[in-house]
């Protein structure tokens, strides 16, 4: 039988398809690697603020809104991110994340309540679940565009014009990606508008004004003016700022509560929370400029005292804390401040009494109990160690996600010679911080010293068996 020449056309088609598949696989792997790296980097950069006073204030802002939305008060959790930028979002179902910058920049409680109402609108509307469905649909569109592009590449190869086919295929795929992107952005804009409308409904239901929402969006519009002046409105994830304000203002002004203002006591708590955040997050010199000595208000004195503590000026900070307590003796968090700065200055035994007073004024706060337990442990008095462990354990019953609290408890267990319990607390701390590998290691070590089937052993087993989504 005579030999035949290879079918070069067939080879070209096969090579083109195989090469295209390799390119697609490489692109997917590159995107996945970049996403994983970005996620890890972001997780390392993100810090959360845990503070009983500020979290209590946010709870009081949120509870009426959440009840009006009917989404389940106990199921919604608010987290404070230690960033001065103005931003808030919903993730993982019913978790609201609020940057410290929202509180720092908002002059009234109503502005923050408007932000919470908007994010609650996303929760009540099931936007996260629907967004996942929308992403699945978008994925199908992207696959179709990819296949059409691959077809054009193959067709060009068959016709002997691989260059033209590649160009056409690339154009189809790029067009498909653009179509997918615009579809997703249009969906997001629709959901943002729906959340705005829902927020106004919740504010009306709770007898509150939407004026704060308008003020917030107006400020954001001013910030975004230069970047959105010539922007394509269809390439934005949120409605264009001015259009959004106009639509919202029509709804807001229809409410009989539009001119209602925040209660003075709520405004005072808001001012204290802002001062506390500025005191902790701003450079001390910036704090002194924002809250100069000529400002004798309690919030200003609060911020200056915290800035002095951060600068290591414990003598003046202590005098400031005592003056705050004299002015408002039933405010738990002025007592907390005094105890904290005594603890930081190495005077743990003196810190115990003011922290006990703070706990007595806010007995529901798990964070304050953990701090008091830390002060008792820091005295290095063996007689106080069991009390410290009990207080920390009680506090962590209501603060199950407080990784730092578990690390402090682990130290206390270690000092008491309770090694297996110290390792379990360490595992829990790593687990809450998202370091599941280290959590499993310490949980395995803890199991070796715990009685099989005991509550501690079972908790360690849960950590070992956990598989992150």
What are the pLDDT digits (tens) for 172-209?
A: 444 444 544 444 444 455 677 788 889 999 999 999 99
First to last CA, the chain: 60
For residue 320, give the nearest of 348, 300, 346 by alpha carbon: 300
Helices 332-344 and 366-378 sit at what angle, rounded to 10 degrees? 30
Top-confidence residue, 223 or 314: 314
Token pair belonging to 5: 């020449």
Give the pLDDT mean for 130-143: 47
Write down the domain spans for the chain. Answer: 48-252, 405-469
Q: Which residues contact 465 (CB under 8 A, 6 or more apart)?
A: none
Q: Where is 49: in which H helix or E strand?
A: strand 48-49
What are the pLDDT digits (tens) for 353-377?
A: 999 999 999 999 999 999 999 999 9
Q: Is there a contact between 78 and 51 (Cβ–Cβ < 8 Å)?
A: no
Beta-sheet strand order (sheet of 88-91): 48-49, 77-81, 95-99, 88-91
Q: Which residues contact 404 (CB under 8 A, 6 or more apart)?
A: 50, 429
Flag the least confident range among 126-130, 324-328, 343-347.
126-130
What are the pLDDT digits (tens) for 407-451?
A: 999 999 999 999 999 999 999 999 998 899 999 999 999 999 999
The pLDDT of residue 13 is 37
Flag the least confident range among 39-43, 110-114, 193-197, 266-270.
39-43
Token pair belonging to 357: 């007073």
Q: Which residues contact 383 (CB under 8 A, 6 or more apart)?
A: none
């Amino acid at each position: 039988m005579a030999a035949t020449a290879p079918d070069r056309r067939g080879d070209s088609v096969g090579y083109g398809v195989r090469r295209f598949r390799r390119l697609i696989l490489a692109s997917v792997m590159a995107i996945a690697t970049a996403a994983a790296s970005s996620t890890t980097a972001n997780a390392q950069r993100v810090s959360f603020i845990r503070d009983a006073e500020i979290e209590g204030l946010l709870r009081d802002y949120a509870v009426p809104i959440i009840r009006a939305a009917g989404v389940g008060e106990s199921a919604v959790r608010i987290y404070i991110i230690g960033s001065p930028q103005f931003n808030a979002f919903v993730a993982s179902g019913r978790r609201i994340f609020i940057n410290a910058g929202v509180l720092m920049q908002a002059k009234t409680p109503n502005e923050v309540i408007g932000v919470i109402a908007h994010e609650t609108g996303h929760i009540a509307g099931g936007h996260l679940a629907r967004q996942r469905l929308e992403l699945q649909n978008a994925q199908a569109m992207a696959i179709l565009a990819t296949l059409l592009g691959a077809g054009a590449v193959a067709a060009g190869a068959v016709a002997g014009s691989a260059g033209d086919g590649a160009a056409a295929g690339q154009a189809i795929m790029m067009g498909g990606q653009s179509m997918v992107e615009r579809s997703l952005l249009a969906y997001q804009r629709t959901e943002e508008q729906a959340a705005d409308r829902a927020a106004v409904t919740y504010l009306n239901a709770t007898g509150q004004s939407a004026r704060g929402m308008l003020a917030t969006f107006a400020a954001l519009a001013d910030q975004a003016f230069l970047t959105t002046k010539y922007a394509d409105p269809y390439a934005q994830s949120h409605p264009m700022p001015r259009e959004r304000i106009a639509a919202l203002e029509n709804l807001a002004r229809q409410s009989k509560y539009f001119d209602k203002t925040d209660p003075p006591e709520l405004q005072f708590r808001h001012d204290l929370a802002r001062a506390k955040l500025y005191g902790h997050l701003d450079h001390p010199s910036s704090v002194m400029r924002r809250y100069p000595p000529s400002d004798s208000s309690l919030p200003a004195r609060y911020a200056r005292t915290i800035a002095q503590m951060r600068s290591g000026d414990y003598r003046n900070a202590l005098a400031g804390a005592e003056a705050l307590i004299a002015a408002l003796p039933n405010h738990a968090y002025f007592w907390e401040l005094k105890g904290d700065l005594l603890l930081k200055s190495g005077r743990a035994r003196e810190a115990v009494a003011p922290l006990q007073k703070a706990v007595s004024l806010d007995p529901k706060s798990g964070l304050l109990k953990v701090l008091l337990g830390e002060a008792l442990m820091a005295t290095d008095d063996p007689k106080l160690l069991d009390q410290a462990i009990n207080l920390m354990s009680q506090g962590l019953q209501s603060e199950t996600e407080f990784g730092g609290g578990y690390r402090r408890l682990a130290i206390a267990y270690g000092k008491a010679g309770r090694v297996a319990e110290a390792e379990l607390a360490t595992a829990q701390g790593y687990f809450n911080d998202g370091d599941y590998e280290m959590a499993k290691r310490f949980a395995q070590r803890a199991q070796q010293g715990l009685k099989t089937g005991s509550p501690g052993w079972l908790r360690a087993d849960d950590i070992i068996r956990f598989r992150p989504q």
